[in-house]
Structure 1
Amino acid sequence: MLPIRAALAGTTGNAMLMGVAEVSTPLGWVLLPGLLGLSARPRVAALVSAWAGVLVVLSVVVPVIPGHRSDPQALLASAVSLAAVPALAWARRRTRTATVARAAGPPDVAVFTVPAGPGSAALAICGTPGEIGAAVPLRGGGLLALIGTVTGAALDTPAGRRAVEQTFRRHARPGRTLPHLAGVLDRAVRDLAPAGHLRATIVRVDRSGAVEAVRCGSPDLITVAGDRGELAAVPAGPALGATAPGGDPIPAPVAGHRIAVLGAAYADAHRQHWARVPDQVAAHDDPAVAARRLTRGPRGERRIGPALVIDPGPQSRA
């Protein structure tokens, strides 16, 4: 989504250019603010529209440089166009997020379901220390997801974790590769907390159901074929934001009718017993139930998240 400063700067620059060029048609004054508004969140779109309206009025009231036409039809056309921008931005955002649904569960864990290619995925969030979890539906039916654990006093705060997740969501687009996303997150972690790091797994599911992943200091993925689970053997790379930067992580294909991704905090808490997870991954047909079960702490202790379970569909079973 377009940042608010960039949207307002673009709107202001457009008004100045229209005035200098003596463009008086409503289209010239409204088109760029409208496009900027549609590329932003609904609240930002409303602010952009309001600011564009102020600039239109100023160009009419204080005509130092010839600006927007002042006849009622021209002003009405601009007003209607600018008023429509926030509504369209809201409708666009609602359409994009309507595929994410909250699944039923106990109060100490939130489970969200989302399409993943021809299949589906479930992300379980518990609010535990260091927890990083985000799933972004892509146009065309794909999915990008981030599962991780942050370490470091400056990074393991609500604001720090939220900044990491928002960075991922901003850059999670269909054309972005997994190494590119890892690099963006690496720079973000270094800027936020030079002494902290993020152990993360980034997963992509394309529209056909093919899955690939990169590991950056995180546990291996788990795949299930039939009723057996095993480690996916995805190559391990260094944690993001580590003191000694490594090369680009290597994406690896992951195949199975079910795939589970866990954070480093889960493996740390369960220690050598975390490899028993495959039995839990295969235990239930519903990925939301499986994701919720994967958040159980050792010996009945507090839940540990996040956990992502993907049932990607036929393409990933090859």
Structure 2
Amino acid sequence: MTRSRTLPVALDRRRFLGGLAGAGAALALTACGVNGSDDDAGKDTAKDGAPGATRQLKTDNGTVTVPENPRRVVATVNYDALMLLDLGLVPVGVPDGTAVPTLMPADSYDKLKDVRTIGAPGTPNAQAIAALKPDLILDQFYKDKTEPLAKIAPVAYFEWGTSGALWHEQVAKIAKAVNREDRLTEARKAYEERVAQVRKTYEKQIASSTWASLSGGQSGKFYLGSPLLTVMRDLGLRIGAGIPADEAGFVEKSYEQLDVLDDCTVLLYVGQFDGSVPPPTRELLGNKLWKGVPAVKAGHAYPVKHYGVCTYSFANGAVDEIEAVLKRL
């Protein structure tokens, strides 16, 4: 798996990794409070371990005693929820605003839309969480806020905002926390096989093109790079000079610097699952300087729904979208 550096600024990282349109956009949350049903939460097909069996788990908040096979898992950030789905486990609780149909595939939305909510990201409602009777609580961003929740259930904290870890490294930590590493192996293998297939089939197109990923920002800014770069590099795509070789996060630029894209023959920008484009990126696409970029003039700028890669399911979706572009080259 390609190794590259991630966002240097934790706030921007959290905004983007939350399934955002771009670095300057605010996540559209539902109203604060708790709601929903947990009728489908906790469902899976894994075998149960011995009742009451526990194990020791190393986390970024120390070694924690957790159930051998957690079943009622609370996700305190939306990334936890999506990663759990990849591992075959529906959480019993998620933050407000996790289930947004424009930000995730329909099957993920269907699994999460009725899961009970536990308060806004960063401000978990302890009473609501306790009512769900979880056997494990996951967190990747809000250590100070989730540490007190250990009175309710074990908290497995894996710092992402400033750790420099890539999405697949975080998925591996979550898989270990819920004892689903076999599921992770299956997902990783399927992804690697798919990548190898596309690399072989479109070898000529890959060799003759140069790519970049980008999203719109606020106040005449745009952002080069995203977690999508890990997939692009795994596919062997040549990345444009505007993105450093070790970068998988954001490189902020102004519209006046759009000429940094002149060496690119293909551009991928953030899209949404309903076919729309987030407002900051829509503003970028309407700018006259954008329309003068060579790849744009040639008709090779494309929206990518799976832009915010955070799981192997998202990564496979990104591969499918990139393959559709390669067919057009």
TM-score, structure 2 length as denominator?
0.25
Higher relative contact order (CA 8 A, sep 6+): 2
Structure (1/2) with the larger helix percentage = 1
When Rg is computed on C-alpha atoms for both structures, the one with the higher figure is 1
